[in-house]
Amino acid sequence: MAADKRDKPGKTTGKQDVSARTYSQRAVLSKVLSYLRKYWGMVGMSLLLAAASVFLTLYVPILTGDAVDLLVGPGQVDFQALFVTLGKIGTAMVLSALAGWILSVCNNHITYHVVKDIREDAFHRLSELPLKYLDTHAGGDIVSRVIADVDTFADGLLMGFTQLFTGVLTILGTLVFMLAVNIPIALLVICVTPLSILAARFIAVRTYSMFQAQSRTRGEQTALIEEMISGQKIVKAFSQEKAVSRRFAGTNQRLEECSQKAVFFSSITNPVTRFVNSLVYAGVGVFGAFAAIRGVISVGRLSCFLSYANQYTRPFNEISGVVTELQNALACAARIFELIEERPQEPDRPEAYVLKDARGNVELENVYFSYTPDKKLIQDFNLKVKPGQRIAIVGPTGCGKTTVINLLMRFYDTDSGSIRVDGRNVRDITRGSLRTSYGMVLQETWLRAGTIRDNISMGKPDATQEEVEQAAKAAHAHSFIKRLPQGYDTVISEDGGSLSQGQKQLLCIARVMLCLPPMLILDEATSSIDTRTELKIQNAFAGMMEGRTSFIVAHRLSTIREADVILVMKDGNVVEQGSHETLLQRGGFYAELYNSQFAG
């Protein structure tokens, strides 16, 4: 399949890999709330627990003030009342700690269930996205969204639940208690408070875009690392280590700049709010002292008020830190929602036909297709294939051979024209039943982590051991499988582990041999196999293709001599069509290709 990669749109990397859809903070918050709606019961419990914890915490200063007032002077201490008050203080502190612990459990439950739901939606959307999206977006960036960005969002959401709720309730509760103790001093605190809020908001609004840039650049870096790891052999073979290192250094430098800006500007919030809060505390101390001298409030009430002033200002510092984390979390959430909100592939029609026991009658009529509108590829393509025919597709790199396969499998849909299987338009057939009717072996092998048996029986999970071995024998894979440490129970990784490229391709061939669907697609299926084994595989293929409609893409023209029809493609068009002998006698483009391979 690699030979035809020029047919397909290249994956974008770097700055190009940016979704056209952008979300404002309000839009992101709305989507987060839609996920929270499922857990409103737990959210309500969390609010109640936060309120209880805050109330008990704020009740302690009143009890402390009462205790101070009981210490009138030497020989004038009401110890009985003092011990009762101290008991109340201890009880309130224990209940507050218990409420805080349960609150933490609730917040963790909400956060990680929401994160689980988001990850499931993101992964589910990945399975629904058309191949066009995956072909035009770097895999590392997609992984970064589903893993790193969701983790960052979880951290911000958890901090928001843990500190934002209690912080806001502490501020409101403290104001109520201060108003109950002394209204003039409480009004002084209320008048100074907006300065802290305005300063935090001013900085927070400007850091959101910086955290967005940081998250986006981190995705670019992940994509580059993934590209480097997967293509390590090519990098070393062409001595590109320094060039790749320079690319990484450039991306890393941009990430450093984005991160420094985001963290620096967001970190200003805390010092600013601390400065304003210190003014509040100093004002309360000065005015409270004068009020105590005039006898307006007692010393105990003044100590209570100073404690409230301290508790009132502390949440502003905590909330400023929360706001910083939330900016980062919302920026990451925006990238996640961009993925989740991507338009999925067109779903099967409700009345779509389930293709069973296909005869293999395939017809392409006036088909036009291109990956990008400005670059034409398949134009007015027509083909009629009778059941059981072998159709070979040949042509130079980039002529559209693999594109035809993509259209037959409905990995892409035609721009215009129609493709019919057994007289039915493929758009009226469910994708699952259509693809199940094709057996496909590609030049690029794909294995999953698991046993050899699991990989062969992927298309037929209920296959018996005997059926699996028969398929492996037909693919000439049985001998090397038996030499593995655990035979068919040998566990391999997704890249095949120590298996050679040829052995991996034999497993993919055995996978198709096991299912034996009514139609076959062989796209350079023996490109990684030695000549001796290829001859055996060709004989196995000949038996497998007997009575089955087969599409064969090959560059080695010696492998397609027995095809019923050979389609010769050039620049997306079929320029010649016929049998091997007919095309050679015609002396056209096919003869030129054939003679170039066998000029000796």
> Does a structural domain hold residue 391?
no
Amino acid at 509: I
| Structural domains of the chain, count | 1
Domain of 152?
Answer: 38-340
State the average pLDDT for the chain: 79
Length of the chain: 600
Rg of the chain on CA atoms, in Å? 35
The three-state secondary structure class of 78 is coil
Evaluate the CA torsion angle 485, 486, 488, 490 in order and state its sign: negative
pLDDT score of 100:
85
pLDDT score of 598:
63
pLDDT score of 341:
86
> Does a structural domain hold residue 250?
yes
Residue 519 bridge partners (DSSP): 438, 549
- Spell out where 15-137 has E strands: none
> Does a structural domain hold residue 445?
no
> Does a structural domain hold residue 70?
yes
pTM: 0.63
> Does a structural domain hold residue 159?
yes
pLDDT band at 4 (very low <50, low <70, confident <90, very high): very low
> Does a structural domain hold residue 284?
yes
Q: CATH number for the domain including 281? A: 1.20.1560.10
- Residue range 20-28: mean pLDDT, rounded: 68
Secondary structure (H, E, C), 295-356: CCCCHHHHHHHHHHHHHHHHHHHHHHHHHHHHHHHHHHHHHHHHHHCCCCCCCCCCCCECCC
- Integer Cα distance of 477 and 94 in angstroms: 69
CB count within 10 Å of CB 462 equals 6
Residue 107 pLDDT exceeds 80: yes
Task: Give the range with max mean pLDDT: 218-227, 307-316, 383-392, 532-541.
Answer: 383-392
Evaluate the CA torsion angle 550, 555, 557, 558 in order and state its sign: negative
Residue 389 pLDDT exceeds 50: yes
Sheet holding 416-421, edge to edge: 378-385, 362-369, 416-421, 424-425
Sheet holding 438-441, edge to edge: 438-441, 519-523, 549-553, 390-394, 565-570, 573-578
Nearest in space to 50 (alpha carbons), one of 173, 153, 177: 173
- Integer Cα distance of 298 and 418 in angstroms: 90
- Integer Cα distance of 577 and 588 in angstroms: 11
pLDDT in tens, 149-194: 888 888 887 777 777 777 778 888 887 877 777 777 777 777 776 7
> Does a structural domain hold residue 230?
yes
- Integer Cα distance of 283 and 577 in angstroms: 93
> Does a structural domain hold residue 446?
no
